[in-house]
Chains A and B, each alone.
Chain A
Amino acid sequence: MLVFVQALVSGLSQGAIYAVVASGLALILGNLKVVNLAHGSFFTLGAYLTYTLYTTWGWSPLYSWLPVGGVVFFVALLAYRLVIGPLRHRRTTVAVATLGLGMLMESIFIIIWSPLHYYLRTTLPVIRVGGVRINLQEAYVGLIALLLMGLLFVFLKTRSGRALRFAAHDAEVAETVGIDVGRLHMLTFGGAGALAAVAGSLMAPLLTIHSTMGRMPMVIGLAVVIVGGMGNIHGALVAGLALGIISSLVGFYLSPALVYILSLAIIVIALALRPTGLYGALLRRDR
């Protein structure tokens, strides 16, 4: 029973991270109408940068997610300018391009950081509260993630946030009322990349750092997005937390490998069963 509570608590925190990752994907899917297959690589970049910042300058992973997020924001902007932006009207091509970008980043990681797997020490201890062991690092990560989600919700209510939602709903009309949709797309991509990197940075002490570490969070994020309703950020939070709990329980009672496979299966089944809907109608008319 206690073990169940532990898994639950851990799952909530993991779920919050999945929600953050999923939000980035949801923003891109909702606005650019594209699946960003490079999202996982941005997550990985965040983790690698956090590692380097710690080993080179001793910056604590508790705080370094902030500068890491900032840096990766600009990296993502650059990637958008160079690779995605010029293509954004051809959705299939963009998907291939994001896949290419993701693979490119993975190979660059190996070249810069070598194929070695890295481990970052956690800074917060594991404590016992009435018989339940709580990993404070995990709890901290979960709290920051929830904070970020809260900030995201607040942002979506602001003027800029509403412009974003408007453009996601109908880009053409948004253009006519003066919203610079192209720039919006670029900033969205940057923001999503930053979110992924922050998630990666926060998780760095809790995971093994290697070049393909971002694939699983990305896949789980995609599953969350599909389940939570494509492009729906609120749905991403709820589905993220739910999936976090489920995956924690599955990972604990069954096997960690099963979590990845489960998310993949969710993606395939969900795509097969519900490709239609608001976004489905838009996506069917694919080039």
Chain B
Amino acid sequence: MESTTYPLFRTGRRIAGTAAAVLLAIGIFLVPLFVTNQFWLNALIMANLTAAFVATWDFLAGPVGQLSGGQALFLGGAGYVAALAGLAGVNPWLGMLLGLVFAAIAGLVAGLLSLRVSGPFLILATLALAEIAHESVLAIGFLSEQGYAIGGEGGIPLLQILPRSAEGFFTTAYFLSALLLVGLVAGLYLMARSRLGLQLRAAGRDILSAEAAGINTTLYRLLGFAVAAGAAGLVGVFWGQYVGRVTPSLLALQFSFSAMVLAVIGGRGSIIGPAMVAYLSTAVFSWLWVDPHYQQLVYALALLVLIRLRSL
């Protein structure tokens, strides 16, 4: 797919584009000045996190050039590892780090797979990996000594560094999530546009030419996966910390699928576009109180229509 447009090619457009992006970023941070209602802050925090998640998928799809059908694995997996670490008595900060490490490793595994398997089969393989994780956490559950149900459908609770009952929880969480979103999107975008990004794209798209140019495609491919997965893991551990619980829905196919759809709608590869689309659609769906089933319907329809109208 070569319709990736990095929209900042000419200097004038570059300045305008950068200005717009900076304004948008500032705007996101200013939201709590206008919104104090907890429900809305929560909805927007979710929007931030979802947008960050979608950006990681898009980084993988665009610069690295690989489509992942199981991005939720990195997000939910990291969350679960952090939660499990917490259950084992590990410090929550360390737990988050462990979650990140897990995500990066899982990313490497997916990256290794991508060297063997391409296109539709990679989508299938990553999807299968995510489903394995999903089914595993669904199936494994037990009662703790205090009689709480842990695992299975209800998920696992996390020890929150900042407890929900704390003063200004939502506002703080919002700032942190906004920071995560802006930081991640900016980081991924800049990485994509840098020389590293160029090498990643080469390794992803045309292995032969890249190797001929002296690029160690295996290394870059794996690096790209590790970055995308690690970023998703970062969102995942944050998500767990915010909600206070990780549930199997964080590993669900619906989640991976929506990331794919939103990225395609937003313009696969441009990272900022998908993040915006994800943010807007999550916020709008929250605002309209749309049933998740209808959400999926809309996403699937939008995907099919868009695919028909233009190439992926």
Contacts and interface: CB of A to CB of B under 8 A. Distances in A.
For chain B, give the interface size range. 35 or more
A275 B121 contact: yes
A139 interface: no
Contacts of A275: 116-118, 121
Interface string B217-231: 000000000000000
A265 to B, nearest CB: 6
B176 interface: no
Contacts of B132: 261, 264-265, 268
A155 to B, nearest CB: 26
Which among B69, B296, B301 has the highest number of chain A CB atoms within 10 Å?
A: B296
B264 to A, nearest CB: 8
B128 A111 contact: no
Interface in A234-287: 255, 257-258, 260-261, 264-265, 267-268, 271-272, 275, 283-284, 286-287
B260 interface: yes
A163 B53 CA distance: 46
A160 interface: no
Contact of B293 (A110, A258, A264): A110
Interface in B268-312: 293-294, 296-297, 299-301, 303-304, 307-308, 311-312
A226 to B, nearest CB: 9
Nearest to B297: A107
B124 A96 contact: no
Contacts of B181: none
A90 B2 CA distance: 14
A154 to B, nearest CB: 31
B311 to A, nearest CB: 7
Taking chain B's interface residues, is the majority helix, strand, or loop, or is none over half, making it mixed? helix
Interface residues of A, number: 45
B125 interface: yes
Contacts of B131: 215, 219, 260, 264
Given A104-B300, A107-B294, A283-B119, A261 B136 contact: yes
A82 B308 CA distance: 9
A55 interface: no
Contacts of A110: 293
B138 interface: yes
A111 B293 contact: yes
Nearest to B306: A100
A115 B300 CA distance: 18
24 contacts: A83-B304, A83-B307, A90-B311, A95-B120, A95-B123, A96-B312, A99-B127, A99-B260, A100-B257, A100-B300, A101-B300, A103-B300, A107-B297, A110-B293, A261-B132, A261-B139, A264-B131, A268-B125, A268-B129, A272-B112, A272-B117, A275-B117, A283-B121, A286-B120
Given A110-B293, A271-B121, 5 more contacts: A96-B303, A104-B301, A261-B132, A267-B124, A268-B125
Interchain residue pairs A-B with the least CB separation, the first 4: A95-B120, A286-B119, A104-B300, A107-B297
